[in-house]
Structure 1
Amino acid sequence: MSCSFGFCQDSTTLLNGSVKSPNNEVSDILIVNLNSKISTITDSLGRFSITVKLKDIIRFTAVQYLPKDISVTDEILESKSIIITLSDNVIDLSEVTVTPYNLTGKIDLDIERLALDPAVTSSSLGLPNADLVKMTHSERLLLEADRGKYISLATIDNYGKINEILSHAFISVSINTHKIMNRVSGRTKSLEERVERDEKMELEKEIISKFSKKSMSDSFHIPEIHMDGFLTYCISQEDFLELSQAGNTVELWDYLKDKSIEFREADTLKQ
């Protein structure tokens, strides 16, 4: 065991840091300790925490930035904090002629020059129910199958002036046979399961759009050919849909990291 300035190479320290960039977003940047294989991502402000040891190599990667590796030094361990500045990943494109349209190639400036009108939407037109969330096909089927109460009461007033003729009110009972039959036949339950399945599949698409299968494979030590199995394992968990209420991407990443440990411990990879 080697020690320097009071820090032993085998002792771990929780390193807090932040990623800075003047041009791009600093959230959801993947940070991996190449020695311990521990990983995390930055929050919306670019902040992160990761366990390190002396001489560990920490890698920062994101699509919009060039990869960057740093070596953990005594100074970093002593301060327990670090600020990382990443370089933009500039992709050279073929030359594009913009002069006929009086454009500069700078998006912000060109948008102002074009003076485009705001997009016309149902909200901008002030249409009723413009802000309602559009229901899926499965949700509409479930609503139709389970609409209303099982039993409703109504006075004969609903049917005209009969009560005036008879001088007193009657009460009628309406039984929702459509709702009852759907429940008894199992159609309602089947549609409920279908809606839940659709929600899970939509959440799975969101996860893949935020974290590629390659990134999850490298960070969670799961072969890429088993990533579909891992995601299926996550979907089968009772608390999976609670992720739709996750406040930020960090919570989502932490959930996947915890489930990846369970997935490996369950010997699923050997099957």
Structure 2
Amino acid sequence: MKRILPLLFFLFSFLGFSQNEEEPTIEGEITAKVINAQTSFPMESVHVINLNKVVGTITNQEGKFTIPAAVNDTLYLSFLGFKSQKVRVTNDMFKFEGTEIALTELAYALEEVIVRPYQLTGYLEIDVKNLPINNSYQYSISGLPTSYEAGSKNPSAVTKVLGAILNPADLLRNLFGKKPKQLRKLRQMKEDEDIRNLLASKFDRETLTELLQLEKMDIDDILSNCNYSKSFISTANDLQILDAISSCYEEYKVLNRR
């Protein structure tokens, strides 16, 4: 019995050590190929961005790209006329060659959307139950002619409405303060030529929201409270919006130090 106990202790210690030993994170460069999901043809000039490292590249004539990455990084792929896609980097992408990523044309992606018209019966009690409910919050302020709809996300929307009217500085502090890591990416984004080229060709704020982890509504709030006009906000391309946010953020940091 005395001999068995030390042996069991050794086995349990070895198993515990094996479980605690974690596989090291793989990091380096990965190579993959982007294809058209409908035709399987390679896609050239697809923009690929590593959202974690804030670096970008584009695919060559064979649809291939190489980009710095680590396991669990997220790649964001974008091409005009195709549905943008996010892909998480896995160990297999480093271990095996021939990784293919398929993008779907928007025409095919839209076919998957089912539009359900309202089925009205003519009976008020039944039709009222079938109509969608608007969960947006409406706020009215004394002295102002119209009410404000603050969105349907959560009750904190009232903070943004009141903050924008009563104290713009507080709204900026809330927006910038909640996303310090994402906003530190601004300088990296401006320095990467591939990312700048992509943003210069886009007007939908989609890439910006993914990179900064801000919502489109937050971007509009930031620009509005930095005294940018509605015309600029609605017509500027994403690169101009990035420069505007960056300029506003620098001014905020100066004011915040004071």
Q: Same fold by TM (over 0.5)?
A: no
TM norm structure 1: 0.34
Structure of larger gyration radius = 1
Higher strand share: 1
